[in-house]
Chain A
Amino acid sequence: MIHTRFDLAYPGFALNVDLQLPARGITALFGPSGSGKTTLLRCIAGLERTTSGMLRMQDEVWQDGANFLPTHRRPLGYVFQEASLFSHLSVRRNLEYGLKRIPQAQRRVQLGQAVEWLGLGNLIERSDPASLSGGERQRIAIARALLSSPRLLLMDEPLSALDTQAKRDILPFLERMVQQAGVPIVYVTHAPAEVERLADRVVFMQKGCIDRIETLKQALSRPDSPLFSDGGCVSVIEGRSGQQKHGLTSFHVGEHCLWLGNPIHAASAGRPQRLRILAKDVGIALTRPEDTSLLNILPVTIQSIDLVREGHALLGLRLSDGQNLFAEITAWSRDRLALHEGLAVYAMIKSVALAE
């Protein structure tokens, strides 16, 4: 358990947080800019020096009032928005910086492991980190943080400074690192897609306070979730990618199979992954349509029907393996098809993509 309580007042901003988190998995701190996510993360790291806070990491007290463990004595890793590599050190020396500073017996991550997880094999001998791309630098920064064998990894919008392609490239590495390193992570972001792809639970923040804490499933099951802003409701479906066929990649969800247009990154093949499906991209048929160009059709049961906006109905659907899927259709279609709760129908998914 991580238990933290902070009461800070800066000019024009106050942080008022009392938070308990399980020390495992990925916790996303989600909220608009200025909501205090980064400040909270810096407080946890001890980078904001406060005398009015409390932080207990499992059985260790990191701070309590005037009793303040300085940052360098807290066994944590921190990944900043910009990679913040040491420009005077080679890639290898950057990676070794934290590694060298912990006793041999406490090293739980070896250089070779971190290099493999983050795909740094051909970068490690580079001497000038400034000449690398943003995505490469950020991967090095993540590996550098992991190599200090942290008991808690803090990540402050690690992808926000990257362009779309770099983000897409780094996400599989991040996923693999999360699964293999097994270190609890607190992940600050304002991008719903990153939460949907990575998080186990979400702490919603607003104006320096915590709105609510939910598991990702809970957060995605209510139509008014703050995660749904651009593009409406989103469902996240977990599954495993399989072979390539007809220029598409198969993706197994329970006993069913979906087809993905985009190829799966080598780093994530065969691992559990999450698909992100917009409710607007899901249509409903009463019988299995046979003569259609749509490839992804799943049998589902209607769980709920809500009116979300003028003339539109949001259907909560359940897949055969219990996962939830949203479909947004017009109210007229709902009436025409006489849809009601408990009805077994087919969900036709127009567009399927990995969450990114």
Chain B
Amino acid sequence: MESSFSAADLSAVWLTFKLATTVTLILLLVGTPIAWWLARTPSRWKAPIGAVVALPIVLPPTVLGFYLLITMGPHGSIGHLTQTLGIGILPFTFAGLVVASVFYSMPFVVQPLQNAFEAIPERALEAAATLRASAPDRFFSVALPLAKPGFLTAAVLGFAHTVGEFGVVLMIGGNIPGQTRVVSVQIYDHVEAIEYAQAHWLSASMVAFSFVVLLLLYTFNPTKRK
């Protein structure tokens, strides 16, 4: 069995890491207000918006990838926007992968955050209000610290889920070395080329990585004891 990783493998690993980190950061920023809204709104739009956010959990990644490809393409709405802004067309670029992954991993960030926000007793926020804390103050001084375990879970799941995606990447990003060829695609290529040893190295690394991530999550973020 050939040992260790090729330069192409390492490049894929680095690209995957870069993608997952970017997507996780964006999702924490974008997902927090969405989760906060979903957790606390009495609006009748709560159910439909919640369902849209959760769609990627049940949809085949190819379906999501297909529609994203069309919308981000030269004739899609996002495509028009990006062309007007002079950014060009997103599919088959790293930026395109980021946008697609944000949609794809959204529920894995929003749902833990929403659960964490829902678990915050209304009473704690009311107490803060009676102690002169304005709404943003209450959010940062009470809600965020109390939801900290939720943020950890959301970040880990968002990151891990982005690392693990394959279908959407293939639909949107294709297979451009150093740009869109992430680990899952690289493994696919190895297997296609019957380079099982290389595939083993990467796959086993993925198994180890996923296990360690989940182990850390369960160790440092135990479910609340009452």
Contacts and interface: CB of A to CB of B under 8 A. Distances in A.
Interface of A: 45, 47, 70-73, 76-78, 80, 82, 84, 86-89, 97-98, 101-102, 141, 144-145, 148, 154
B134 A72 contact: yes
A148 B138 CA distance: 16
B70 interface: no
B78 interface: no
B43 interface: no
A88 B137 CA distance: 15
Contacts of A144: 131
A98 B146 contact: no
B87 to A, nearest CB: 42
B197 interface: no
Contacts, number: 66
A232 B145 CA distance: 51
A70 B133 CA distance: 10
Contacts of B142: 86, 88
- Interchain residue pairs A-B with the least CB separation, the first 8: A98-B131, A78-B130, A101-B132, A71-B129, A88-B145, A84-B127, A84-B123, A72-B129
Nearest to B141: A97
B128 to A, nearest CB: 7
B16 to A, nearest CB: 34
B191 interface: no
Contacts of A97: 128, 131, 133, 141
Interface in B96-154: 121, 123-124, 126-135, 137-138, 141-142, 145-146, 148
A88 to B, nearest CB: 4
A69 B127 CA distance: 16
Given A87-B146, A88-B145, A88-B146, A82 B132 contact: no
Nearest to B130: A78
27 contacts: A47-B129, A70-B129, A71-B126, A72-B128, A72-B129, A72-B132, A72-B133, A72-B135, A72-B137, A77-B130, A78-B126, A80-B123, A80-B127, A84-B123, A84-B124, A84-B126, A86-B142, A87-B124, A88-B145, A98-B130, A101-B131, A101-B132, A101-B137, A144-B131, A145-B130, A145-B131, A148-B132
Contacts of A45: 130
Contacts of B124: 84, 86-87
